[in-house]
Structure 1
Amino acid sequence: MTDELLAGRYQLEQELGRGGMATVFLARDTRLARHVAVKVMHPGEDGRRAERFRREAELAASIKHPHVLEIHDFGEDARRGPFLVCEWVQGEDLRALAQRLAPVPPEVAAVLGWTLARALGEAHARGAVSPSTSPSSSTR
């Protein structure tokens, strides 16, 4: 990473992950002197995907729960395009934890499942997750 400055504020330090629509970076918020995670939409995406990305940021920002990342900012960089900024939580991701503990003890799986279900319940209450928006519901 070349310490690129996004939107004049977020110093991109390293790539954390990449998905079908966006790449997530560890970044330094130069105004507030703290680390954040920045999700940057891949270049060349059409307007519908950009609108979906914006709605994702709005919905995520409406969720207040201890097990859901807090959204700090949403914007558009002249070079990189749309991005959203959320809190950065240092630690092991769920995949790495599961691989390290494999086979995952039933007690650990139960606690993780319960924790994830509570966060998902809050997202559902905010309309971020609903049967009417799931891909499988359109085939019923």
Structure 2
Amino acid sequence: MTVPHRPAPQRGVFDEPYWHHVAAGELRLQRCSGCGAFRYPPGPVCPECLAEEHDWAALSGTGSLLAWTVFHRRYFPEIPVPYVVAAIRTPEGPILIGNVVGTRDSRLSHGMPMRAVYEDVDTTDGPLRICQWTCLDDPSHFEE
């Protein structure tokens, strides 16, 4: 099996725990210990109450398709076109951006249930596991 090659993500100073959890197959985001608000992207203080204390809370790994676009132009030589980039609204509140895989773009529809999937890729920084999205349960949405 060939491991796909992807550009290395631009990691911020507060991102390392996110990547650690994704490597373990878990979708977790920084959450304020004071008020419970999610911090996405992660940061030093809560944007709601300015508390510094936080944990990394597990998300369900599900969501609904809020918006998407299909890229037909090759911006990264490593990623074959066309590919879909989508905004997924999680039941916990945060809207996450990621690629949609395993589903034809012509079958996508607003509000479609989605689930997180993890893909092992090779980057210029070395091997990495990334979070992607696919249609939740309906087999009619998967490529034939």
**Relative to total residues, which structure has the larger helix share, 1 or 2?**
1
Tell me the TM-score range normalised by the shorter chain. Answer: under 0.3
Higher RCO (CA 8 Å, separation ≥ 6 residues): 2
**Relative to total residues, which structure has the larger strand share, 1 or 2?**
2
Which has the greater radius of gyration?
A: 1
Q: Structure 1 length normalisation: TM-score?
A: 0.26
Q: Structure 2 length normalisation: TM-score?
A: 0.26
